[in-house]
Amino acid sequence: MTKHFKSITEMALANNMAPPEHSLLGLIRINKEIVINNPAFTSDFYMIGLKKVKTGFMLYGRTRFDHETGSMIFLKPRQIVEMRNLEFEEDGYILFFHEDFLTGDPLYQDIQRYSFFEYETNEALHLAPKEEKIIWNVFYTIEQEYNNNEDEFSRDIILAAINSMLKYAKRFYKRQFINRKQASGKTVTEFNKILQQHINDGFLFENGLPSVGDLANRLNVSARYLTDLLKVETGKTAIELIHIAMINEAKDRLRKKDKTISEIAYELGFENLSYFSRLFKKETGLLPTVYKRQFLN
C-alpha cells in the first residue's frame, strides 16, 4: 500500500531526518554522503529538486529519473513518487512546500499554469552552468529566510523566491526545447504520423477523437510535455493540431457527394453535430453546410 504523507514533518520522521523548521516548508541539502531510499509514497506538498544523480533511480509517473547532469524536477501533491538508493555526485537540494503554504497568495492559482509539474521524470530540466547558478542564487534567498527567525515578511519573501524560481524554470525549459530541436522535431513528425494513421485506419468511428493522453502514451512522453513541445515547435497545442487534422479530413470528405454532413461528422468521431459545426467554422471560417455547397454543382 502506498504511503501518504499529510505533512512534511511526517515524511521527515519516516526517513529518520530532523523535522523542518516550518510546518509547511522544508529544505533538504543534498550531498555525497546522503542516500535516499523511499518506497512509493504520495503527499500533500510540492517538491522542487536540483541534483546530479550518481546511482539509484527515482520513479514519478511511468518513467525513471537517473540523470547524471544537473537536473531539476518538479513534483506536485498526490502524485506517486518512489526513490531507490539515490546517491549524488555533488551538492543539491530538495525544497518542500505544503499546498496550504500557498493559500491566500496569487501563487496558489498561478502554480497551476506551470505545466512542468505534470512532466515525467525523464523530462526533467537540464540546466546549463549559468542557469544552475541563477537557480542556486534563488535557493540561497529561500534558505536564508528559512534559517532566520520568522517574522511578518518571511512568508512573502519565500513565496516571491519560489515564484521567481518557477519563472526561470519556464524560461529554461523553453531553451531546452529549442536546443533539442532535432529530437523535438522527430517527436512532432511522429505525432503527425500517428495521428494520420489513426484517421486512415478508421479508428475515429469506433473510438472517437484521439485524446492528447493517448497520443502522448504512444510517444512515451507525458501529455503536458507533448503539448508544450508542440507549442514551441509549431505554435499550436496538441489538441489544436488534432482539431486541425480532423477538419482537414472533414474538408476532403465534404467535397464528395455520397455522404451527408452528419455521416461525415460521426465517421470522424464527433458525437455532437453542433460541436463539429462550431469547430469547422472556427478553423475554416465557414459552416460545413456552406463549405459543402461549393462542391455540389
Residue percentage of the chain with pLDDT more than 70: 88
Query: What's the CATH fold of domain 3-179?
Result: Jelly Rolls (2.60.120)
**pLDDT computed for residue 17 by the predictor:** 75
Contact 227, 215 (CB under 8 A): no
Q: Is the domain covering 182-293 a CATH 1.20.1070.10 domain?
A: no
**pLDDT computed for residue 66 by the predictor:** 46
Question: What are the extents of the domains in the chain?
Answer: 3-179, 182-293
* Residue type for position 80: I
The per-residue pLDDT for range 203-226, each reduced to its tens digit, is: 776 777 788 988 888 888 888 888
As given in the structure block, the three cell numbers for residue 285 are: 471560417
The per-residue pLDDT for range 229-262, each reduced to its tens digit, is: 888 878 888 898 888 888 888 888 888 877 889 9
- What is the spatial distance between Cα 243 and Cα 203, in angstroms, rounded to a whole number? 15
> Residue 144 to residues 9, 56, 95: CA-CA distances in angstroms?
20, 30, 13
pLDDT at residue 188 above 50? Answer: yes
- What is the spatial distance between Cα 34 and Cα 278, in angstroms, rounded to a whole number? 57
Say whether 126 sits in a helix, a strand or coil: strand
- What is the spatial distance between Cα 4 and Cα 78, in angstroms, rounded to a whole number? 8
* Range among 86-90, 267-271, 272-276 with highest mean pLDDT value: 272-276
Q: Which spans in 71-128 are helix H?
A: 107-110
- What is the spatial distance between Cα 157 and Cα 187, in angstroms, rounded to a whole number? 40
The per-residue pLDDT for range 93-134, each reduced to its tens digit, is: 889 999 999 999 999 999 988 988 888 766 788 888 899 899
The per-residue pLDDT for range 48-97, each reduced to its tens digit, is: 988 766 666 677 654 555 454 558 889 888 887 877 767 776 677 889 99
Question: φ, ψ for residue 93 (rounded to 5)?
Answer: -155, 160
**pLDDT computed for residue 60 by the predictor:** 66
> Residue 155 to residues 27, 47, 142, 151, 166: CA-CA distances in angstroms?
14, 17, 10, 8, 16
Q: Quickly state the pLDDT bin for 195 (edges 50, 70, 90).
A: confident
Q: Which spans in 22-151 are helix H?
A: 107-110, 129-147
